[in-house]
Chain A
Amino acid sequence: MPTAVTPVIVSDNPQIYEDAHVHAIYEEIAPHFSSTRYKPWPVIAQFLSSLPTGWIGLDSGTGNGKYLPLPLERPGSVWTIGLDRSRNLLGIARNAGGGEASREVVWGDVLGLPWRRGAFDYAISIATIHHLSTHARRKVAVQRIIESISPVHGRALIYVWAIEQDELSKRSIPSEQSDELNGQSKGQDVFVPWVLSQMSSKPKPSAKSSRTRSNGSGSTYQEEEAVSPSPEDNTTGTSEKPAVFNRYYHMFAQANELGLVIGSPHELRVESPDSKHIRNMTGIDIVQDGWERSNYYVEIRCWRK
């Protein structure tokens, strides 16, 4: 059964809007995220496997922390610290990957910068920035990621939802999706429902519990599935009717739109050529960008010469 994605118009103060349509919902649905089993998307797994031993990184919007144990073939060779706005998700993320190992997680906002500048060697931000409801805020989030990593060698990988969805995805996308603005597609603001079936007074066997979506791309998006609540979650009475949580997403129109939030190097770094030699120039290169499994991604690298 396809789940309709509904176009929306962002109203209110964006912070208040995101509190209601993103943060409150993740707090509520956090127990239904499974973190013990997943298959990381190839580009993300590759990125984390390519990092030198001893590097430290930030996962901005870590959610259930599924990327914190990576790379699986060299566990413990790098440390990724998870940041998220949802305290309940962090409660899951701290034990991501199972076993004895515990993860480092920090409760914070992706628009903040609670770090020494440039303290990290790398950063990832997977399926997070699309929850910010204005272009300006999405851009600030990307700037914060760039400010978090080393201006000399920092690397970052950012994933956001694409309007172009995987053919195997069960999401149905509204048809009038590609708004053209000066020839540049500007994406689409939508609600994506997370259906949480309520426990009736006699719980049914959880035939549909916690399946990942059928395209096998991992467990990041489970919103199409009706998920059985855990026993302690039976707070909303005995209704048979499933609860639907409409989460806000900005579906990016193209990889280029993600490029636009990165901006030009001049906006990001003040070049400081010393007066005698043209040295100490810093910049940011886009190493790769593209589409993978219903998402756009971009990988960047900072440099100085």
Chain B
Amino acid sequence: MVRLITHNLLACHAKGCTSNNFPLQFKDIQIELREAEFNPDFLRGFIPRIEWGALTDAARQLGDTSLPSEPPDMLDDDFLQKLHHVLLEIHVEEGAMVCPNCGHVYPISNGIPNMLLAEHEIG
């Protein structure tokens, strides 16, 4: 799957591409929404690990503008529900992710991102 929880971790690893290689940009994507179990304790613990700007940008690319530009101080249920939806309920099923630095294209098919490199692309 490529949900935004995973997108927030992925970076380009093509040969020589070591800076400005995150976040990957979505291209020509199809998304599906599927409910997932809400776990507020997980989210509270996970928030400090998120690259927040990358998450809100990616959410916007997927048509979701519900998140504030900074995580709020008060982590109420309303906010956590929105975060839950953005991280775990939007599935990118088809399309690609493109490196902002070198332009390498990582295809997504049946919800699974292909991060393999050809032998000459391995750093």
**Interface pair A77/B41, CB less than 8 Å apart:** yes
A-B interface pairs (CB < 8 A), number? 99
> Given contacts A76-B37, A76-B39, A114-B11, is CB(A104)–CB(B5) below 8 Å?
yes
**Interface pair A114/B10, CB less than 8 Å apart:** yes
Report the bound CA distance from A113 to B3 in whole Å.
19
Contact with A along B28-39 (1 / 0, CB 8 A): 000000101101
Interface residues in B34-63 (C-beta closer than 8 Å to A): 34, 36-37, 39, 41-47, 49, 51
Among the interface residues A101, A103, A104, which one has the most CB atoms of the partner chain B within 10 A? A104
Report the bound CA distance from A236 to B118 in whole Å.
30
Report the bound CA distance from A120 to B46 in whole Å.
11
Contact with B along A86-119 (1 / 0, CB 8 A): 0100110010000011111111110111111101
Check A59 for interface membership: any CB of B closer than 8 A.
Answer: no
**Interface pair A104/B1, CB less than 8 Å apart:** yes
Report the bound CA distance from A177 to B85 in whole Å.
53
> Given contacts A107-B113, A107-B114, is CB(A53)–CB(B45) below 8 Å?
yes
Interface residues in B86-106 (C-beta closer than 8 Å to A): 91, 106
Contacts of B37 in A (CB 8 A): 76, 100-101
The size class of the interface chain B forms with chain A is 35 or more
* Minimum distance in angstroms from A121 CB to a CB of chain B: 7
Report the bound CA distance from A114 to B123 in whole Å.
11
Check A46 for interface membership: any CB of B closer than 8 A.
Answer: no
Which B-chain residue is minimally distant from A16 (CB atoms)? B119
Report the bound CA distance from A75 to B110 in whole Å.
25
Contact with B along A43-84 (1 / 0, CB 8 A): 000000000111110000000000000000000111101000
**Interface pair A114/B13, CB less than 8 Å apart:** yes
**Interface pair A109/B116, CB less than 8 Å apart:** yes
Contact with B along A11-34 (1 / 0, CB 8 A): 000010000000000000000000
Q: Choose among B46, B49, B51, B112 the residue that contacts A107 (Cβ–Cβ < 8 A).
A: B112
Check B122 for interface membership: any CB of A closer than 8 A.
Answer: yes
Contacts of B42 in A (CB 8 A): 53-54, 76-79
Contacts of B91 in A (CB 8 A): 102
**Interface pair A114/B41, CB less than 8 Å apart:** no
> Given contacts A105-B112, A108-B116, A121-B49, is CB(A115)–CB(B41) below 8 Å?
no
Report the bound CA distance from A87 to B112 in whole Å.
9
* Minimum distance in angstroms from A273 CB to a CB of chain B: 24
Interface of A toward B, CB cutoff 8 Å = 15, 52-56, 76-79, 81, 85, 87, 90-91, 94, 100-109, 111-117, 119-121
21 A-B residue pairs with CB within 8 Å: A54-B42, A55-B45, A55-B46, A55-B49, A56-B5, A77-B39, A78-B42, A79-B46, A81-B9, A85-B116, A87-B112, A91-B110, A94-B111, A107-B113, A112-B122, A114-B11, A114-B12, A115-B10, A116-B10, A116-B11, A121-B49
Instruction: Give 5 A-B pairs besides A56-B5, A104-B5 with Cβ atoms closer than 8 angstroms.
Output: A54-B42, A56-B46, A101-B36, A114-B10, A114-B13
